[in-house]
């Protein structure tokens, strides 16, 4: 059934200032299967976020901001394949993070087997080890792994910040659903562009 719905007001700010030592970037699932032509579960607009995320990472690293990646990870016969088909199988080309955003030596990569970057992973413990209070979340898919990770972060009382030009979804509706939930439900801060994120 096709239906047109009105998107409720979503607050998007021009700029946010964050303390570098208490902030981390989380790059969610920017892997070949989601981002590159030939990927098993291609998100059409994910490639457009690569330069935005790259710019944010360069800025963050120059200010000593900690960088984390989540890496969606599945094994043969994973029950999730009944929903999405097989994708990001560990050890395959599709599982690798895209070359343009390859993690650097001091970055931390967290393998996750579900949508939520915190579920069954050491992410929360690692963030607390480094004294992190603010999370800038980027990547794909906006209403799936980005949203579940953002929600899980908010439920642990991290302050969530999302640059809206650095996330992608399978379609426009899903994109705005994610923004609405992050703003309304999780009280995250949506920022117009990565240029509006200032590290102090």
Q: Which are the catalytic amino acids?
A: 29, 112, 145
Q: How far apart are CA 7 and CA 177, in angstroms?
A: 8
Is the peptide bond preceding residue 114 cis, with omega within 30 degrees of 0? Answer: no
Helices marked H in the chain: 32-35, 46-62, 81-84, 123-129, 147-155, 172-180
Tokens 């609405």 identify what position?
A: 180
Q: How far apart are CA 66 and CA 57, in angstroms?
A: 10
């Amino acid at each position: 059934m096709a239906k047109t719905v009105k998107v409720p007001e979503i607050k998007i700010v021009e700029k946010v200032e964050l303390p570098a030592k208490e902030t981390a970037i989380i790059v969610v699932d920017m892997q070949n299967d989601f981002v590159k032509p030939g990927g098993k579960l291609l998100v059409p607009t994910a490639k457009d976020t690569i330069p935005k995320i790259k710019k944010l990472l360069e800025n963050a690293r120059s200010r000593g901001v900690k960088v984390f990646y989540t890496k969606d990870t599945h094994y043969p016969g994973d029950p999730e394949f009944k929903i999405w088909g097989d994708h990001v199988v560990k050890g395959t080309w599709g599982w690798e993070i895209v070359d343009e955003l390859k993690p650097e030596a001091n970055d931390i990569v967290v393998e996750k087997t579900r949508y939520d970057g915190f579920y069954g992973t050491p992410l929360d413990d690692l963030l607390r080890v480094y004294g992190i209070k603010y999370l800038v979340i980027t990547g794909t898919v906006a209403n799936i792994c980005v949203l579940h990770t953002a929600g899980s972060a908010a439920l642990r009382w991290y302050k969530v910040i999302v640059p809206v030009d650095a996330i992608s979804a399978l379609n426009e509706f899903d994109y705005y659903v994610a923004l609405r939930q992050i703003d309304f439900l999780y009280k995250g801060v949506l920022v117009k562009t990565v240029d509006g994120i200032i590290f102090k």
